[in-house]
């Protein structure tokens, strides 16, 4: 399956971090974006929590191309839990991209602004206000 092939490529990259192995990993992530299965979202969300920032930001960017509520939710959760600035910035860009086609993103962000466990409340509120000005309030 695609999941197995991607995990195998990731293992190869982690064992021998070369540009060629990373390119193989990137091409397999790209295939997941083209196929857009629910399993791909789960796998990319798992990779987004990787300790390797290069892997995590790749997965986050890929999730930003899934215009679904589950991808938006995964990205907002990641933004709320990360302490890494690069991960947070990549998550913001991905959420903005998802919000262009997934109107539920605004509701998910609104819920996150009311959360007491979010580690980046200011960033979430700014993002919510920015998206609010671009979208209608159909879901609120």
pLDDT tens sequence across 36-90: 899 999 999 999 999 999 999 999 999 999 999 999 999 999 999 999 999 999 9
Is residue 126 included in any domain, yes or no? yes
pLDDT band, very low/low/confident/very high, at 1 (cuts 50, 70, 90): confident
pLDDT at 136: 56
The whole-model pTM stands at: 0.89
Alpha-carbon distances of 130 from 3, 23, 67, rounded to whole Å: 35, 34, 18
Q: How far apart are CA 140 and CA 138, in angstroms?
A: 6
Residue 137 has pLDDT above 80, yes or no: no
Is residue 18 included in any domain, yes or no? yes
Residue 134 has pLDDT above 80, yes or no: no
pLDDT at 74: 96
Range of the domain at 98: 2-134
- Among the listed residues 61, 58, 51, the one whose alpha carbon sits nearest the alpha carbon of residue 14: 51
Is residue 43 included in any domain, yes or no? yes
Is residue 75 included in any domain, yes or no? yes
Find the mean pLDDT for residues 6-19. Answer: 95
**Do residues 105 and 72 make contact, with C-beta atoms less than 8 angstroms apart?**
yes
**Do residues 99 and 105 make contact, with C-beta atoms less than 8 angstroms apart?**
yes
Q: How far apart are CA 71 and CA 60, in angstroms?
A: 9
Q: What is the CATH number of the domain that holds 83?
A: 1.25.10.10
**Average per-residue pLDDT in the chain?**
92
pLDDT at 131: 87
Count of structural domains, the chain: 1
pLDDT at 77: 95
């Amino acid at each position: 399956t695609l999941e197995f092939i991607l995990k195998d490529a990731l293992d190869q990259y982690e064992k021998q971090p070369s540009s060629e192995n990373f390119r193989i990993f990137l091409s397999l992530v790209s295939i997941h974006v083209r196929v857009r299965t629910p399993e791909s979202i789960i796998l990319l969300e798992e990779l987004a929590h990787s300790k390797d920032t290069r892997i995590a930001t790749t997965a986050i960017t890929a999730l930003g191309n899934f215009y679904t509520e589950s991808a938006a939710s995964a990205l907002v959760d990641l933004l709320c839990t990360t302490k890494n600035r690069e991960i947070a910035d990549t998550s913001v860009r991905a959420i903005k991209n998802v919000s262009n086609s997934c109107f539920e993103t605004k509701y998910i962000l609104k819920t996150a602004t009311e959360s007491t466990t979010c580690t980046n409340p200011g960033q979430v509120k700014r993002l919510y206000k920015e998206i609010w000005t671009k979208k209608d309030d159909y879901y609120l």
